[in-house]
């Protein structure tokens, strides 16, 4: 999922749902325009506290945009 660094794909472009919060929002918008209504993301981190922090970041930074 998202982080400050974009994950490179095998074609040299950026993996979907990686990079900055703005990158992830743009990816979700592009998926929506293609007719995709649901996505699955993993927000697992090393600890429960870190996982909950990632969930909160996604909810406030990405999900709140839609």
Q: How confident is the model over 4-59, as pLDDT tens digits?
A: 667 777 888 888 888 888 888 999 999 999 999 999 888 888 899 999 998 998 89
Q: 33: which 2 tokens?
A: 């325009």
pLDDT at 3: 60
Round to whole Å and give the CA distance between 66 and 63: 6
Taking the model in full, what pTM does it have? 0.75
pLDDT at 61: 87
pLDDT at 49: 96
Q: Tokens 């993301």 correspond to what residue?
A: 41
pLDDT at 2: 57
pLDDT at 25: 92
């Amino acid at each position: 999922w998202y982080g400050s660094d974009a994950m490179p794909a095998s074609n040299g472009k950026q993996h979907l749902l990686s990079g900055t919060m703005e990158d992830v929002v743009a990816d979700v918008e592009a998926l929506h325009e293609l007719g995709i209504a649901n996505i699955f993301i993993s927000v697992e981190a090393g600890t429960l506290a870190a996982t909950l922090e990632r969930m909160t970041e996604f909810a406030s930074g990405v999900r709140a945009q839609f």
